[in-house]
Structure 1
């Protein structure tokens, strides 16, 4: 049931969904090289996009897609093969499991609901790294889920824009 003033969204096109995931992967790769390097506090834009589509379109983006994007991220970062794949699979599972509950909240409340999911993914990555003898990246690593939760309203605004178009193109066209 729609709330008063809430807009009915058009269906998301699969090309836009997968294009946004590839774009988030590319942005994440460029961010790693140009902006912040391999800083542990850097937000994972691909994880944020995977959670968004896991919440809004759980049947289109599942654990298989998250696993494959995780493998691509592992290859890009030169980390242990499967580290990000496992974390993104856990992320996708939790996002799909609680997607109905998350959608009941306003966008600011959704950000609070997404925060533990993001934290779980970062903890899985940390656990795999530590089990294989890696170094602790520092306490600033725990800023990443907070930054990703703060970016949730921006991601929601940007990724829902194509669905907010007028269903009738003549509805808002000037004469």
Structure 2
């Protein structure tokens, strides 16, 4: 059994990795398919430990994402809090889904997150919708099973409960 501080550091490091992966440079062809790393890692922790990470944690990670992306402050925070609420509300049901059902659920949540971000950007900054805007939701769903298994192994290895 590890200490509470060590468990918090473990969760923080995973979320920090998700934020770094969200802004790491990629080629222009692949950047349209960049998965929502921070969202996926955040949703894993909300799903695995809803008593530790909740809507407030989602809001804070969303604020960090807004700062890193240079977007209007609060856009990603609102979208992450909404999606985090859905996962926190239904975590017992989602835990019983198979990995493919979870991937579809994550696809729906990523589309909702992207839609909320777009709608707020549209109303605030008159943003235009591009064809490739929802491609990250597809790659997020494809990456979910592997990330889920990797983070579960990481959580068990470091004894985060």
Q: TM-score range, shorter-chain basis?
A: 0.7 to 0.9
State the SS of the aligned residue for 1:95. helix
5 Å-filtered alignment, 1:23-172, equals 23-30=17-24, 34-36=25-27, 39=31, 41-165=33-157
1:16 aligns with 2:10: yes
Contact 1:41 1:141 in 2 (8 A): no
TM-score normalised over the length of structure 1: 0.78
Query: Any idea what the Cα deviations from partners look like across 1:4-48, whole Å, max 9, x if unmatched?
Result: xxxxxxxx9332222101111112121xxx115695543210011
Q: Which has the larger radius of gyration?
A: 1
Q: Which runs of 5+ in 2 are unaligned?
A: 1-5
The more displaced of 128-137 and 142-151 is 128-137
TM-score normalised over the length of structure 2: 0.85
The CA RMSD over aligned residues, in Å, is: 2.1
Partners of 1:36 and 1:130 in 2: how far apart?
26
Q: Which runs of 5+ in 1 are unaligned?
A: 1-11, 168-175
Q: In the TM superposition, what is the alpha-carbon distance from 1:56 to its structure 2 partner?
A: 1.2
Bigger helix share: 2
Say how many residue pairs are matched: 152
Partners of 1:39 and 1:133 in 2: how far apart?
22
Contact 1:111 1:150 in 2 (8 A): yes
Contact 2:61 2:77 in 1 (8 A): yes
Contact 1:40 1:137 in 2 (8 A): no
Contact 2:118 2:127 in 1 (8 A): no
Q: In the TM superposition, what is the alpha-carbon distance from 1:155 to its structure 2 partner?
A: 0.9
Partners of 1:152 and 1:98 in 2: how far apart?
18
Runs of 4+ more than 4 Å apart? 36-41
